[in-house]
Structures are given as C-alpha cells and as structure tokens.
Amino acid sequence: MSRLDLHDTIRAVVYSDGVLRVLDQRELPFVETQLECHDAGEVAEAIRLLVVRGAPAIGIAAAWGAVLEARLLQAAGSAVTQAALESALVRLNAARPTAVNLAWALARMRAVLARAPADPLAALEAEARAIQDEDLAANRHMGELGAAFLANGSGVLTHCNTGSLATAGFGTALGVIRAGYAKGKIEQVYAGETRPWLQGARLTMWELGRDRIPVKLIADSAASHLMRSGAVQWVIVGADRIAANGDTANKIGTYQLAIAARRHAVKFMVVAPWSTVDMATRQGSDIEIELRDPGELLSIAGKRTVVEGADAWNPVFDVTPAELIDVIVTERGAIERPDESAMRRLAGQS
C-alpha cells in the first residue's frame, strides 16, 4: 500500500448488484451508517437531503441512479431507452442546482443511450463505473499538481468538505492537502466550521483526523484573524461550478475567504476536476445559487437557537471572481491567474 493509499480509506458511494449504498453524511461523525437506494427517486432524494453531497459525489450517485432505474425497466420487461429513462434523469438532475457535475454525469449517461448499444444496461453500468474511476484518478493527479505549488512546512486553510466523502475518493482540495502532507509540504491544516451544515466541523475534521493529518477547527468568522496571524500561506478549496471565465461557485463563505486572502497576501487555490468546469456558463453571475430551507439556520443539531417567528436567508453557495483566484488546479493542468482565454486554452477551444 502506498503512502497516499493510507490517506484514502473512505468511500461515500458504493454500487453493487442493483443497490447503491451511500454513507449517510447527515449522521457523521458519530454514526457511520449506509443508506440503501434501489431506484432513481431514492437517489434523487438522498442528493436533495445531503445524505450524499459534494459536487463529484452527487454526479457519481446520479449516474448510478440511472443504472438502478434501467435495471428496474429491464426487470419489468421494458426496453432500456433514453425515452423510457428520461423522467428519472430529469428527476435526478433537479435534485440540486449549483454543482454542474450532476448534469455532466447525466449527460454522459444520456449519450450512452443515444448510441443505442446492444446491451444498454451493461453500457450504462460501464459508464457509471468509468465516471467513478475517472474521478478518483483525477483526484490523485490533482493532488500532485496542487501540492507542487506549496512550499515546505506550509499552513493551509480549507472550507467545507472536499475529501473522499465528496468525491470518488481522496478528494479535490483535500486531495492536495493529503498529497501535500505526505510530501512534508503541509505542517498544519485549519478547517472552517462551514455553517450551517458544518461540513468542515463534522466531515473534514473526521476525514483528516482518521488520516492523522494535523488539523485545527476554526469558527468561520476567525478566518481573517487567522490569515493576519501569518499561520496560513494558502487557502485551498473545491468548486461546484467553474464558469468559462474562471469565476467559481463553491460553498457559502468561500468568497469572503478569497477577499480576506488577497488582503493578507495569502494565496488562493481552487481544486476541481474538469467535470466541474462549465464552459457553457460565461461568468459566475450566470450560475444558479441554491437557496435552502431557512430552518437550517434557525437551529443547531435539532435544537432551536433563534426565537420563534424569526426568518433567515440561506444561500448555500457563493461565487468567487476569477481575479481573486491565484490558481485553478484540474486534472488537465493548473491555470495560474485564471481568465477566459486561459480557460479556453485548457478546454481546447482556442
């Protein structure tokens, strides 16, 4: 087992024989339980409720959701065609709006059916498997590419959860952190809590703790103070959608980290597979930002913290302008000082 394999022991999405098992991320870190999905509707609901979450992981789960539905069609003696699967694909696609990986994965599944393969179910299974395997390979590669930017002994701040739980394994920003730590480039990680769903506190702290990577939790509101202290040289985050000009949608709070990072001469890195890049969206302001139930802000762990009758506004992503990003790392390569022409070059569009 390589040193990096030791830092990659969690799998959030596992398919076998007509059952998709997803690690229930609502229950972590204290309860490790898997939820079983048997059809596309159950997968869509698991995505909507954040049982499975993180841009690459929801794309992978949706691809397997299409496979589950195709199996049910075949078992009922119906032909597995694009028309027959379409309503399930639409339902999966509607589960969450911001991460483009969902639509990207489903477009790949549609393209398989459009080729009218002799055995559509086998072809869909092979495609879902490829989507999952390619994501893991991309993460390993991005880990190497991203870690190359770090000086030995760096401090880094990350936000939300971008690890094995959010991907096929290893992670995007957390993959760079895993690779950077294994190479001695990272001395200390700081993880923001990530209110209101606490992906940083509940999930990133759990993942890095299991891997024995030194991590300290901070309140989201402590980030600027941390940067001014000189303890971090990099902010490293993932992405849910990167527009053609490099503007990046990610977990709410990312934008203010980028502003604070520029103010304190801390470098800002976005790490995401190419499946998160949406060249059809010109700029960040064109990205739909998911608004979730205000109730998520009104209580903590089921205990009400705000007076009855109070209202709240709960956007769960924001957009960081490309000009605040020092480098975007994808498996195709890294773009320093991203802009539309650099993005188009990497996309093979210029």
Helices (H) and strands (E) in the chain, counts: 12, 16
List, as own/partner pairs, every contact residues 340-346 make where C-beta atoms lie below 8 angstroms and the sequence separation is at least 24, other chains included.
340/244, 340/245, 340/246, 342/246, 343/242, 343/244, 343/245, 343/246, 343/277, 343/279, 344/244, 344/279
Which is nearer to ligand MRU, 160 or 277 (by Cβ)? 160
Q: Which residues contribute to the site for ligand MRU (CB under 6 A)? A: 53-56, 99, 160, 162, 166-167, 172, 199, 238-240, 250-251, 316
CB of 62 closer than 8 Å to CB of 92: yes
Residue nearest to ligand MRU (CB): 238
Min dist CB 152 to ligand MRU, Å, is 25
Min dist CB 159 to ligand MRU, Å, is 7
Helix, strand, or coil here: 20?
strand
Min dist CB 84 to ligand MRU, Å, is 30
Distance (Å) of CA 251 to CA 104, 200, 303, 307: 19, 11, 23, 26
Min dist CB 202 to ligand MRU, Å, is 10
- Which residues are annotated as catalytic? 240
Backbone angles phi, psi at 312, to 5 degrees: -150, 160
Starting at the edge strand that comes first in sequence, how are the strands of the sheet with 154-158 ordered? 215-218, 186-192, 154-158, 234-237, 267-271, 327-330, 333-336
Which is nearer to ligand MRU, 65 or 120 (by Cβ)? 65
Which is nearer to ligand MRU, 59 or 120 (by Cβ)? 59
Q: Which of 128, 215, 164 lies closest to 7 in space, CA to CA? A: 164
Q: Kindly report the CA angle at 226 between 223 and 230, in degrees rounded to 5?
A: 140
CB of 66 closer than 8 Å to CB of 40: yes
Which is nearer to ligand MRU, 120 or 254 (by Cβ)? 254
Min dist CB 145 to ligand MRU, Å, is 15
In one-letter notation, the amino acid at residue 219 is: A
Which is nearer to ligand MRU, 266 or 271 (by Cβ)? 271
